[in-house]
Amino acid sequence: MGRRAQTAVRLLAAALLAAALLTELREPKHERTWHGSIAGLVPYEFRPPTLARVRERWWNPQDDRVLTEHVFGVGWSINLARVAQFLRSLIP
C-alpha cells in the first residue's frame, strides 16, 4: 500500500474513532452506552471486553455473519467459526 493510501486509511480510522466518541459524549452521562454505530453503518464498542463477547464475535457458529462488531474499538471483526464452516464445506 502506498504512503498516500496509508495516510488516508489512518485519517479515516481517526475520524471514525472521533465520531464514535463524540456520539457517546453528546449524550447525557447517564444515557451513555459506549456501544452503537456511527450513522447506522460502522459499529463501535468501548465497553471493557468480556470473554462472552469475545466468543460471541470471534467464534460463533450460530451466527451466519462473517463480519461481526469489534470486541473493542471501531469497525468489524471476523467470525472465525463461520470462516471455518465455509472452508470445511469446500473440502470434499
Q: What is the pLDDT of residue 42?
A: 96
Q: Containing domain of residue 83, as a range?
A: 3-90
How many domains would you assign to the chain?
1
Q: What is the pLDDT of residue 84?
A: 96
The more confidently predicted of residues 92 and 25 is 25
- pLDDT tens digits, 66-84: 999 999 999 999 999 999 9
- Tell me the C-alpha to C-alpha distance, in Å, between residue 19 and each of 1, 29, 59: 25, 17, 28
Q: What is the pLDDT of residue 92?
A: 80
The pTM score is 0.85
